[in-house]
Amino acid sequence: MTKVGILGVGAYLPARKLTNLDLEKMVDTSDEWIRSRTGIVERRIASESESTSVLAIKAAQAALKDAKISVDKIDLIVVGTISPDSNFPSMACKVQRAIGAKKAAAFDVSAACSGYLYALTTAKQYIQTGLAKCALVIAAERITNFINWKDRNTCVLFGDGAGACVLGKVKSGGITADFIQAFGDHGDLMYVVPAETRRPLEVEKSGTYQLPYVVMQGKELFKIAVNSMADAVEAVLKKAKLKSSQIDCIVPHQANDRIISAVAYKLGIPKEKIFVNIDKYGNMSAASIAVALYEAVKSKRVKKGDNVVLVAFGAGLVSGANVIKW
Ligand code: UT7
């Protein structure tokens, strides 16, 4: 079977930082609570001109540069996002237009915090079946679009950002195993209350307009996140025929440092083997793993020959994992 691997990685983070101390002035919270309960110290907030597609385009350009691949080679663009600029056109089509990838098919994938893994797994199949040769996989979120800045249960957790990779054929290694799953029955544990769009005429007449905002039952999600991420790692290792002791680095979704520690404990893997950058960015939904992988590679935490595991969990609920021989 055709081997498919990551040829280059890129990321883009908005410059504006919102620290825990800034949040102390906005809601009834404290730096101490946020750090000790989540591990987050600060997060990035997109500027007015940085829409989700702008974040995606910048991450995509960085990944193309890193892979040293010219844009005319790209024949597929898949973007994992739950915060697109608008319902259509897709973020992938906006990226295609901006970078001039004229040969590419382009579409978005909606899998919340597992969006990067779902996009990666999807694009890999297209290359393996021969429908595409070289793909751009992007995860971009302007998740603060959905934040109610008066709700301390959620507003301290999230941030904006984007990460990307170029995916293509490799001679050895690459993505050696994939595992994705969903638990739709638990969809009410985290969701976005949408803007009033079902009866736009009445809303226009009344002159009131409700902004979308995220609702989350954190405690319940916490337990399911730990169990499903640990299960996903075990399932994907079985597929890859690897033992947990053979993993060099795990790049998990960054929702909460305590979730990451609990997953490490459950798997019997030392925490040092897990890449964590939640302190700098908070939870960037689909973009969290894409940015963390970029930073793990650039800081040489992930090196050639390493067995790397990506593992995600998010609203839906959806989870997944991949094994990559770097
Ligand atoms: O991205 C994937 C999906 N998301 C997740 O997987 C998130 C999973 N859940 C979590 O990470 C954690 O449950 C949270 C970080 C969201 C919350 O941490 P927790 O330890 O589960 O806290 P809690 O919800 O049980 O709240 C404990 C207390 C409550 O006060 P009382 O009722 O004990 O008086 C909350 O009102 O902490 C209070 N609290 C806060 N206090 C200060 C909640 N948010 C804050 C806050 N600052 N920002």
Q: Is 165 a catalytic residue?
A: no
How buried is 51 (Cβ within 10 angstroms: 0-12 exposed, 13-18 middle, 19+ buried)?
buried
Selected from 3.40.80.10, 3.40.47.10, 2.40.240.10, 3.40.50.920, the CATH number assigned to the domain covering 177-190+213-325 reads 3.40.47.10
pLDDT for the residue 194: 80
Best of 149, 153, 254 for a ligand 1 pocket test (most atoms within 8 Å of beta carbon) = 153
Q: What is the pLDDT of residue 196?
A: 66
pLDDT at 155: 96
Q: Which of 40, 150, 222 to mutate to test the pocket of ligand 1 (most atoms within 8 A of CB)?
A: 222
Under 8 Å between Cβ of 60 and 99:
yes
| Full-model pTM | 0.96
pLDDT in tens, 158-199: 999 999 999 999 999 999 999 999 999 999 999 998 876 666
Which token pair is 235? Answer: 């399932």
Does the CA dihedral 137-211-190-42 come out positive or negative?
positive
In whole angstroms, what separates CA 246 from the centre of its chain? 25
Over residues 108-120, the mean pLDDT reads 98
Among candidate residues 282, 154, 269, the one with its CA nearest the CA of residue 216: 154
What's the 189 CA to ligand 1 centre distance in angstroms? 13
Confidence grade of residue 309 (pLDDT, cut at 50, 70, 90): very high
At residue 1, the pLDDT reads 84
Assigned CATH for 4-172: 3.40.47.10
DSSP H or E run through 202: helix 200-206
**33 in ligand 1 pocket by Cβ < 6 Å?**
yes
Task: Tell me the CA distances in angstroms from 289 to 50, 131, 143, 165, one per residue in order.
Answer: 20, 26, 15, 11
Closest CA to 187 of 310, 317, 308: 317
Confidence of residue 204 (pLDDT cuts 50, 70, 90): low
- What is the rounded distance in angstroms from the CA atom of residue 326 to the CA atom of residue 322? 12
Q: Give residue 322's pLDDT.
A: 98
Q: Is 190 in the pocket of ligand 1 (CB under 6 A)?
A: yes
Higher pLDDT, 310 or 196: 310
pLDDT at 211 over 90: no
User: Which residue type is seen at 97?
Assistant: R
Determine how many CB atoms are found less than 10 A away from the CB of residue 73: 18
pLDDT digits (tens, 9 = 90+) for 23-36: 999 999 999 999 99
First-to-final CA distance of the chain: 18
Q: Cβ(100)–Cβ(18) under 8 Å?
A: no
Please state, in angstroms and rounded to a whole number, the distance separating the CA atoms of residues 167 and 154.
Answer: 34
- Tell me the pLDDT band of 202, cut-offs 50, 70 and 90: low
Pairing of strands 161-169, 4-12: antiparallel
> Which regions of the chain carry the CATH code 3.40.47.10?
4-172, 177-190+213-325
Report pLDDT for 291: 98
pLDDT tens digits along 57-103: 999 999 999 999 999 999 999 999 999 999 999 999 999 999 999 99
CA dihedral sign of residues 102, 107, 112, 113 = negative
> Could you tell me what percent of the chain has a pLDDT over 70?
96
The whole-number pLDDT of residue 199 equals 64
Span 212-232, pLDDT tens digits: 889 999 999 999 999 999 999
Compute the mean pLDDT over every residue in the chain, rounded to the nearest whole number: 95
